[in-house]
Structure 1
Amino acid sequence: MDPIIAATHADPYPYYAQLRAEGGLVFHQGLKVWVASSARAVAAVLAHPDCHVRPPSEPVPKAIAGGMAGNVFGQLMRMNEGERQRCPRSAIQPELVLIGVDEVNALVGARLITPDADGLYKAMFRGPVCVVAALLGFSPAQGRAISELTADFVACLSPLSDQAQLDAAQAAAEQLRGYFVELLDDPDNKSPLLAGIRKRFAGDPETLIANLIGLFSQTYDATAGLIGNGVVALIRNPTLLRDAACVEDLIAETQRFDPSVQNTRRFVVASCEIDGVSLNPDDVILVLLASANRDPQLNDSPDTFMLDRPQRRSFTFGGGRHECPGQIVALSIASATLKEILARKPALNRLAWNYRPSLNGRIPVFSDRVIVHREQARSHI
């Protein structure tokens, strides 16, 4: 086990507890990175001005530099510091907060969801992007196409992607940009969300387009994992949810207890001291968000799944200047989607799952478990 493998392990949380016991911020000899595992260390790293989201020597991954995917990546607020981070964030975050729960519920409720593994997959990976697309003023047909393109585009964000996936991501970035060029030129667009973002945004159009594409990419994996891990929680403990009114609490506790984003990275750009440890430029810190969520210093009884947890605290959506701006809408979409899934009365005991290959995500992919009745099994003996 190591902190990277842990993200997709069946149960990484005892290992995270072991790391916390060894020290909040320690050097991992195998990975050659510093590992922040305690709530105190994670908070300090996320807040420190000398801990950046990208190494200064490589603002865009070499594998995608020079293409449209690289152009988009290089302008994303989540991948930048200073004004290149603050400008798009100050335009987008306030508008995302204004999105109403009823509007999200209606958009999710309009989608066809079937109670099998394939229907669950579409609800997790396609539905949330379609909801965000609709909020921005795209038609349902455009939203479906955009969800497929987003699935291709997010491959450029993963070091595990092969060349074919990276080529598809470059093509998807070109097409997603084209969709937004047309949307921004459409005089009949009636989206309050898009209108509010455009009114607040003071940068150039390409930066705006890149960060609107970024809304889709952030929605895709993280929200899928949030929905999926909520389903896993119910499979493991069916008594958790006694009525639909508790879905919001279940999703809120899921994002703390078993988050879809297990870790993130920070790159040290100047000599500094964090949590009593001296760090040097070019040091890399693996920030274990999921471990910090289970730190007893952050939450009482952290290994207990508690729907009515008082003062729930979590690092799942980050912290400091790079805290996820879409936290509220992500929770709303996940809650609405899980309600619709449960309304179809799926046979959760017939679902099996494994986790998608990832260095930082914990995203279950479900399959229909083949159940052979004992009588049928005997007939083949």
Structure 2
Amino acid sequence: MDPIIAATHADPYPYYAELRAQGGLTFHHGLKLWVASSARAVCAVLAHADCRVRPLLEPVPKAIASGTAGAVFAQLMRMNDGERQRCPRSAIEPELALIDLTAVNTLVAARLITVDADGLYKAMFRGPVCVVAALLGFNPAQARVVSVLTADFVACLSPLSNDLQRLAAHAAAEQLRGYFIELLAKTDSALLAAIKQRFEGDADTMIANLIGLCSQTHEATAGLIGNALVALRRHPELLGASMDTLMAEVQRFDPSVQNTRRFVAAACEIDGVRVEAGDVILVLLASANRDPALDEQPDSFLLDRPNRRSFSFGSGRHQCPGQVLAMEIACATVREILDHGVNLERLAWHYRPSLNGRIPLFSTLAV
């Protein structure tokens, strides 16, 4: 195993414990990068000003740089540091915190959910983006199209994508831009109107980050929903628990985003280790979540965990701005799936191929 393969392993957590025992920040010679595995090291990397979200010499991945998907990528707040990150974030983050969570539950409840494998897939991957699109002002038919286009766009963000997927991502990005241009012209949504009023950048940057809001929702929320179902399958005694409490522990115990990367812009010292400009650091969020220095009994699934802490939504200047919204969509979706009578005992799953995500894909076992 290595720290990247671990993300989709059946149980990567004993391996993460081995990495922490070797030191919080260590060099992996096979992968030719640094690995931050302890809570202290992860916190230090995420907080350090010289640890950037993209390499200085490659702000956009070369594979998509020449198309529309690359143009969108270049403007995403999550893929930038400095003013290009702060400006869109200062407009979007405060408004996400003010969203009426009752409206979120209503939108989730309005979706048709079936409890076969296809229905679970749509509930995990399509439903959350439909909810965000509806909150931004799209009608139900448009929201469904936006969710499909978002899935096509997101594929290009992975180094595992192929040429056909990248071509589809460029086309999807162009279509999404068109949808948002039309939406901004009418601005029926209170959420979108408030973001528009706060936004100080140009229209292209705003549109890119609205696409980014949908794309961030796509896989991360799907993983929250799927990993909650896995937890309930393994611990059926939790079925009567508060969904909010259950999801709070799921995101700590088995997060959908297992790792992220940082790129060292200038030689510096992090957690007592010298790193050089150009070095890459793999930040193991999921490993840090299981560090005993962060939470007591970290390998136990505890609903009543006091002072629960995790890095699942990041930390510092790039902490996920939509954490509350993502958690509420995931909670509402799992409630709906359970209310529709999914037979957890018949669920089987494998993890979607990914370098950083832990997202179960379900199939149903024959009776």
Show the 5 A alignment for 1:124-139.
124-139=124-139
Per-residue displacement from partner, 1:153-192 (whole Å, max 9, x unpaired)?
0011000000000000000000000000000112xx3211
Partner of 1:285: 281
1:295 and 2:291 correspond: yes
Q: CA deviation at 1:100?
A: 1.6
Partner of 1:264: 260
Flag the structure with larger Rg.
Answer: 1
Give distance in 1, aligned partners of 2:124 and 2:247. 13
Per-residue displacement from partner, 1:117-170 (whole Å, max 9, x unpaired)?
211111000000000000000000000001110110001100000000000000
TM-score, structure 1 normalization: 0.96
Match of 1:89, as an amino acid? R
Show the 5 A alignment for 1:1-381.
1-186=1-186, 189-243=187-241, 246-371=242-367
What are structure 2's unaligned runs of at least 5 residues?
none
Match of 1:370, as an amino acid? A
Give distance in 1, aligned partners of 2:366 and 2:23. 44
TM-score, structure 2 normalization: 0.99
Per-residue displacement from partner, 1:355-380 (whole Å, max 9, x unpaired)?
00000000000011123xxxxxxxxx
Give distance in 1, aligned partners of 2:128 and 2:240. 25
Give distance in 2, aligned partners of 1:200 and 1:219. 22
Give distance in 2, aligned partners of 1:238 and 1:117. 20
Give distance in 2, aligned partners of 1:217 and 1:190. 22
| Corresponding residue SS for 2:168 | helix
Q: CA deviation at 1:81?
A: 0.7
Match of 1:182, as an amino acid? E
Match of 2:249, as an amino acid? E
Q: CA deviation at 1:37?
A: 0.1
After TM superposition, where is structure 1 displaced by more than 3 Å over at least 4 residues in a row? none
Give distance in 1, aligned partners of 2:251 and 2:294. 14
Q: CA deviation at 1:27?
A: 0.1
Give distance in 2, aligned partners of 1:348 and 1:117. 12
| Corresponding residue SS for 1:223 | helix
The more displaced of 47-56 and 339-348 is 339-348
Match of 2:342, as an amino acid? P
Per-residue displacement from partner, 1:243-268 (whole Å, max 9, x unpaired)?
5xx11111111000000000000000
The two structures, once aligned, show a CA RMSD in angstroms of: 0.6
Give distance in 2, aligned partners of 1:118 and 1:239. 26
Q: CA deviation at 1:327?
A: 0.4
Q: CA deviation at 1:82?
A: 0.5
Per-residue displacement from partner, 1:169-226 (whole Å, max 9, x unpaired)?
000000000000000112xx32111011001000000000000000010000000000
Give distance in 2, aligned partners of 1:214 and 1:350. 35
| Corresponding residue SS for 2:62 | coil
Give distance in 2, aligned partners of 1:308 and 1:211. 36
| Corresponding residue SS for 1:157 | coil
Give distance in 2, aligned partners of 1:33 and 1:369. 40
The more displaced of 35-44 and 247-256 is 247-256
Would you say how many aligned residue pairs link Structure 1 and Structure 2? 367
What are structure 1's unaligned runs of at least 5 residues?
372-381
Match of 1:258, as an amino acid? D
Match of 1:220, as an amino acid? H
Match of 1:145, as an amino acid? V
| Corresponding residue SS for 2:156 | helix
| Corresponding residue SS for 1:34 | strand
| Corresponding residue SS for 1:149 | helix
| Corresponding residue SS for 2:274 | strand
Give distance in 2, aligned partners of 1:114 and 1:306. 30
Q: CA deviation at 1:63?
A: 0.3
| Corresponding residue SS for 1:278 | strand
Q: CA deviation at 1:242?
A: 1.5
Q: CA deviation at 1:241?
A: 2.3
What is the aligned-residue identity percentage?
Answer: 73
| Corresponding residue SS for 1:354 | strand
| Corresponding residue SS for 1:365 | strand
| Corresponding residue SS for 1:314 | coil
